[in-house]
Amino acid sequence: TQLLEQSPQFLSIQERENLTVYCNSSSVFSSLQWYRQEPGEGPVLLVTVVTGGEVKKLKRLTFQFGDARKDSSLHITAAQPGDTGLYLCAGADDYKLSFGAGTTVTVRA
């Protein structure tokens, strides 16, 4: 089993501040996904990154995939209360995902 480590585990910030969540592994993944999960709901896919060094933007969210395809980051600019949730990174391997433990983000109004 390939392990993904996420940091920090918890993050609480004020509205309009910026935040970054990190996802690191000692293994290379063919692709990496980021999901957001709200309480009582299933995870929702935000983005897939495939190419080393890739940067993808989704409105105020910026995703980076490391050059060696072992790490990734999620940056949120000017966070809003609606960004509150559990952020999960997951690496794909042979039709299965290895999930990180998640980062719980709370954005206070």
* Footprint of another protein (CB under 8 A): 30-31, 33, 35, 40-45, 48, 86, 88, 90, 92, 94-97, 99-102, 104
> Measured between alpha carbons, how far is 32 from 73 in angstroms, rounded to an integer?
10
Smallest gap from Cβ 16 to another protein, in A, equals 26
Q: Decide whether 44 or 58 has the Cβ nearer to another protein.
A: 44
CB-CB contact of 106 with 13 (8 Å): yes
Least distance from another protein to the Cβ atom of residue 50, Å: 9
DSSP state of 83: G
Strand order in the sheet with 61-65: 4-7, 19-25, 71-76, 61-65, 55-58
Q: Which lies closer to another protein via its Cβ, residue 38 or residue 78?
A: 38
